[in-house]
Structure 1
Amino acid sequence: MNQFCFAGKVAALPTLSTAPQGWKTGTVLLDVQRPFANGRGDFESDLLPVEVWRGSAETLAHCVKIGSWITVRGRVASRMVDSGNGTEIPVLSLVAEKVEYLH
């Protein structure tokens, strides 16, 4: 099963653009706290870029601000990209399938 589920704070305003097919697409940077403390007792967090598509991308771009709490459920997608020296490397993307807004 290829699924992830995050709850986090919006760390940067979402981008919004149009894909070649005409669909809206965007990326939101989420600040997601780790579920365990480090050696100093602090809970660190990860900044995770999440791709959002179509109507969800438009809604997200208009409804959140920095610091807004959202949950995202989705899948991990992989593709091969040229590394610039003639070899291809795998790149992973987090693709949202459901976004919920927390108050």
Structure 2
Amino acid sequence: MVNKVILLGRLTADPELRQTPNNISVTSFTVAVNRPFTKGAERQADFIDCVAWRNSAEFVSRYFTKGKPILVEGRLQVRSYEDKQGNKRRAYEVVCDNVSFVEGTRPDGPSGTYAAPAAPAAPAPAADTGVAYSNGDVGDFQEVDGYDDLPF
């Protein structure tokens, strides 16, 4: 059986580090994950509760704040409990096994907001050889003899 959850989203609030009576670090947070977008439709997101323990909890509370992207790997856990009115309830949350920064993000100024790195500059155009590779003309290609030298 497999119970594996991978989320890529943004924190909805600043995580708050707490300690259990046995001095174990824990933090709970919610990750907003965008649903697949359909042209012409309104964007939607799912808000998924997560809990991190020990070093992961300390890492999240130290380096992540509201709005920052986060990658969470863990497992789905379902807890049953009784509310104050005596009703039986269920809570679904992702127990984090691994939490990490989203690759390709970096701090952008003193506000601490994150932005994707700038795209590299386009290479300088090559000298005009009269060959247009983007037009899809098969005459742009030439046949290669001797397939014995190919590395695959």
What TM-score range do you get, normalising by the shorter chain? 0.7 to 0.9
TM-score after normalising by structure 1 = 0.84
CA RMSD of aligned residues (A): 1.8
- How many angstroms apart in 2 are the aligned matches of 1:10 and 1:25? 16
User: Map of 1:79-90 to 2, 5 A cutoff?
Assistant: 79-84=79-84, 86=86, 88-90=88-90
Q: How many residues align?
A: 102
Taking a change above 3 Å as real, the CA distance of residues 34 and 18 of structure 1, as seen in their structure-2 partners, is same
The structure having more radius of gyration, on CA atoms, is 2
Q: 2:35 aligns to what?
A: 34
Taking a change above 3 Å as real, the CA distance of residues 28 and 87 of structure 1, as seen in their structure-2 partners, is closer
CA contact (8 A) 2:10 2:67 kept: yes
- How many angstroms apart in 2 are the aligned matches of 1:27 and 1:12? 10
Gaps of 5+ in 2: 106-152
Following superposition, the deviation at residue 37 of structure 1 comes to 2.7
TM-score after normalising by structure 2 = 0.60
Following superposition, the deviation at residue 90 of structure 1 comes to 3.2
- How many angstroms apart in 1 are the aligned matches of 2:84 and 2:29? 27
Letter in 2 for 1:2: N
- How many angstroms apart in 2 are the aligned matches of 1:29 and 1:100? 15
Following superposition, the deviation at residue 11 of structure 1 comes to 1.4
Q: Give SS of 1:35's match.
A: coil
Taking a change above 3 Å as real, the CA distance of residues 59 and 41 of structure 1, as seen in their structure-2 partners, is same
CA contact (8 A) 1:37 1:44 kept: no
Letter in 2 for 1:28: F
Q: 2:70 aligns to what?
A: 70
- How many angstroms apart in 1 are the aligned matches of 2:84 and 2:64? 36
Structure with higher strand content: 1
Gaps of 5+ in 1: none
